[in-house]
Amino acid sequence: MSNALAPYRRLTIKIGSALLVDGKTGKLRTEWLAALAEDLAALKAQGISLVIVSSGAIALGRRLLNLDAKSLPLDQSQAAASAGQIALSQAWAEALGRHGIVTGQILLTPNITEERRYFLNARTTISTLLGLGAVPIINENDSVATAEIRYGDNDRLSARVATMIEADCLILLSDVDGLYTAPPAKDPNATHLPFVAAITPEIDAMAGGAASHLSRGGMTTKVEAGKIATQAGTAMIIAKGTETHPLRALSEGVRHTLFAPVETKAHARKRWIMGHLELVGSIHVDAGAARALLDGRSLLPIGVTRVTGDFDRGDAVAIFDPDGREIARGLATLGREEADSVKGKNSRAVSDLLGIGTRSELVHRDNMVVLMGLEAKV
Ligand code: GLU
C-alpha cells in the first residue's frame, strides 16, 4: 500500500469536532489526541511543516457551561466557543508539548482571510511560527464572529488557511473515509471514490449529505473546501480520523479520497524554477527585503547587501536573509556585475545607472519561489 503523504512537504490538517470530542460525554478524547500528536511529531521530524485547523471549541464549551440543548442559540454557542477554546488550545499545547513541540493559537474570521492587509499579516505570523519550529493551531474566532461574517464550518476555513500558506496538501480528518457516489448511509449501492481529478457538477451532486450533530460541515462543505484548495494548487485528502493514529494510517495507505490540485501556469513555472535549475549565484538581502519577499513581493536592488557567484541575466540564484538562511530562489533580471553595481540603490539611482526603462526589480515575484519555514515550497 502506498504512502498517501509521501509527496508533501507542507500540510494543513483539519480536525473535526466529532474526532476530538466524545459525542456522548462531551469530553475530550485524550487518548486519541495523544496518538494523533505522535503522528504529527513523526511528520514534523521528517521536516514537514504542519498547520492544524482544529474544531471542538463549541463542543467542549457546551459541557463546561452545562449547555445541553441539541441546537444552541447563537449567543450561547458563542459563549460555548469562548469557554471551549481555552480548553482546546490547552489540550493541543499539552499533547504536542509532550513531544517538545510549541503551539501557537490563531483565531481567524473571513475578514482576516479575505482582506489583503490582514491576510498578509496573518500569513506572516503563520510562516514565522513555522520558521521557528512551532505548530500553529487555528480555529474560527467563533465567540465574536457575527452571523454575516463567519465561515461557520472549519472545512472551508481550513481550505483558505491551506491556500494562504501555500500548503501542498490539505487533509480533512472526519468521520467519513472519503467521497462516495451517493451518501452511503442512504444508498447501499454507493461506491467510494479514491481519486477525484476535477470537481465537476457530478462530483458536487454526489456530495449532498448531512453533518454529524457536533460539527457543522457535511460532505457539501468538504467539496466546497476542495474547490478552494485545488484551484489554488493545493491537493486535498478526505480521510477517516476516528481510529487512533489516523495520519500514520494514511501513510500506510488507508482508504481515502484524493482531490488533485489544478496546476496553474504560474505554479508550473515555479515548480520548474525550484526543481530544474542549477543555482549559479547568491544574493544576500537585508531584513526589510526578506520580509517583503515572504509577503510575496519582488526583490528590489535597495534591499540587496551582497552578491556572489557568477550569473547572467535569466540565471537562477539563491536569496539569503541576514542570518544566512536561504529564503527564496529565482531568476535574476540582471547579471552578476550589474547586480553588484546597483545593490543598495533606490530605483531612481538604478535607472540613472543602467538607463531609463530598465526593470527595477532584481528578481521579479513571478520568477521567484519563496521558501517558508526553511524548506522548499513550490
Ligand atoms: N469552529 C467550530 C468549533 O471550534 C467548529 C466548526 C466546524 O465544526 O466545522 O467548535
pLDDT in tens, 44-95: 999 999 999 999 999 999 999 999 888 899 999 999 999 999 999 999 999 9
Q: Is the pLDDT of residue 103 over 90?
A: yes
Q: Are residues 243 and 317 in the same domain?
A: no
Higher pLDDT, 27 or 111: 27
What are the pLDDT digits (tens) for 228-242? 999 888 999 999 999
For residue 211, what pLDDT is reported?
A: 43
For residue 356, what pLDDT is reported?
A: 66
Given pLDDT bands bounded at 50, 70 and 90, which one contains residue 215?
very low
Tell me if 217 CB under 6 Å of ligand 1.
Answer: yes
In angstroms, how far is the first alpha carbon of the chain from the final one? 27
Mean pLDDT calculated for residue range 242-260: 96
Asked, for residue 72, whether it belongs to a domain, the answer is: yes
The minimum-distance atom of ligand 1 relative to the CA of 217 is: 9
Give the CATH number for residue 301. 2.30.130.10
Report the share of the chain in percent with pLDDT over 90: 61
Q: Which of 202, 165, 166, 157 is nearest to 182 (CA)?
A: 202
Q: Are residues 33 and 94 in the same domain?
A: yes
For residue 115, what pLDDT is reported?
A: 79
Secondary structure of residue 64 in the 3-state scheme = helix
Q: What is the whole-number distance in angstroms between the Cα of residue 231 and the centre of ligand 1?
A: 24
Residue 135 forms beta bridges with which residues? 103
Q: Which of 169, 165, 175 is nearest to 138 (CA)?
A: 165
Q: Are residues 259 and 302 in the same domain?
A: no
Tell me if 55 CB under 6 Å of ligand 1.
Answer: yes
Asked, for residue 323, whether it belongs to a domain, the answer is: yes
Predicted TM-score (pTM) of this structure: 0.75
Asked, for residue 378, whether it belongs to a domain, the answer is: no
Q: Are residues 342 and 237 in the same domain?
A: no
Secondary structure of residue 341 in the 3-state scheme = helix
CB 7 within 8 A of CB 261: no
The minimum-distance atom of ligand 1 relative to the CA of 139 is: 1
Q: If you search the block for the grid coordinates 535574476, which residue do you land on? A: 332
CB 136 within 8 A of CB 106: yes
Q: Are residues 230 and 317 in the same domain?
A: no
Residue 170 forms beta bridges with which residues? 12, 236
For residue 17, CA distances in Å to 26, 53, 90, 129, 271 come to 10, 11, 15, 24, 35
Q: Are residues 220 and 330 in the same domain?
A: no
For residue 374, what pLDDT is reported?
A: 34
Tell me if 78 CB under 6 Å of ligand 1.
Answer: no
Alpha-carbon distance of 156 to 154, in angstroms, equals 6
Last residue of a domain, one of 268, 299, 321: 268
Tell me if 177 CB under 6 Å of ligand 1.
Answer: no
CB 55 within 8 A of CB 93: no
Alpha-carbon distance of 69 to 131, in angstroms, equals 43
Q: Are residues 54 and 149 in the same domain?
A: yes
Q: State which residues form the domain around 301.
A: 278-370
Average model confidence (pLDDT) across the chain: 89
Last residue of a domain, one of 203, 238, 268: 268
DSSP state of 301: G
Tell me if 153 CB under 6 Å of ligand 1.
Answer: yes
Asked, for residue 187, whether it belongs to a domain, the answer is: yes
Residue 284 forms beta bridges with which residues? 306, 320
Q: Which of 104, 230, 92 is nearest to 162 (CA)?
A: 230
Asked, for residue 1, whether it belongs to a domain, the answer is: no
Query: Which residues, 6 or more positions from 338, have their beta carbon under 8 angstroms from its beta carbon?
Result: 313, 354
Cell numbers given for 159: 481550505
Which residue lies with its CA nearest to atom 7 of ligand 1? 153
Asked, for residue 364, whether it belongs to a domain, the answer is: yes
What is the separation of C-alpha 228 from the centre of its chain, rounded to a whole number of angstroms? Answer: 12
Q: Is the pLDDT of residue 2 over 70?
A: yes
Q: Are residues 21 and 136 in the same domain?
A: yes
Mean pLDDT calculated for residue range 141-163: 88
Asked, for residue 303, whether it belongs to a domain, the answer is: yes
For residue 245, what pLDDT is reported?
A: 98
Q: What is the whole-number distance in angstroms between the Cα of residue 39 and the centre of ligand 1?
A: 22
For residue 295, what pLDDT is reported?
A: 81
State how many domains the chain has: 2
Alpha-carbon distance of 159 to 210, in angstroms, equals 20
Q: Are residues 238 and 162 in the same domain?
A: yes
Task: Using most ligand atoms within 8 A of CB, pick from 216, 221, 224 the residue to mutate for ligand 1.
Answer: 216
Q: Are residues 188 and 296 in the same domain?
A: no
Q: Are residues 157 and 302 in the same domain?
A: no
Tell me if 14 CB under 6 Å of ligand 1.
Answer: no
What is the separation of C-alpha 10 from the centre of its chain, rounded to a whole number of angstroms? Answer: 7
Given pLDDT bands bounded at 50, 70 and 90, which one contains residue 213?
very low
Mean pLDDT calculated for residue range 293-298: 87
DSSP state of 214: S
Mean pLDDT calculated for residue range 110-132: 87
Tell me if 17 CB under 6 Å of ligand 1.
Answer: yes
Q: Are residues 289 and 199 in the same domain?
A: no
Give the CATH number for residue 25. 3.40.1160.10
Which residue lies with its CA nearest to atom 6 of ligand 1? 153
Q: Which of 112, 106, 114, 135 is nearest to 13 (CA)?
A: 135
Asked, for residue 227, whether it belongs to a domain, the answer is: yes
Last residue of a domain, one of 268, 297, 327: 268
For residue 192, what pLDDT is reported?
A: 95
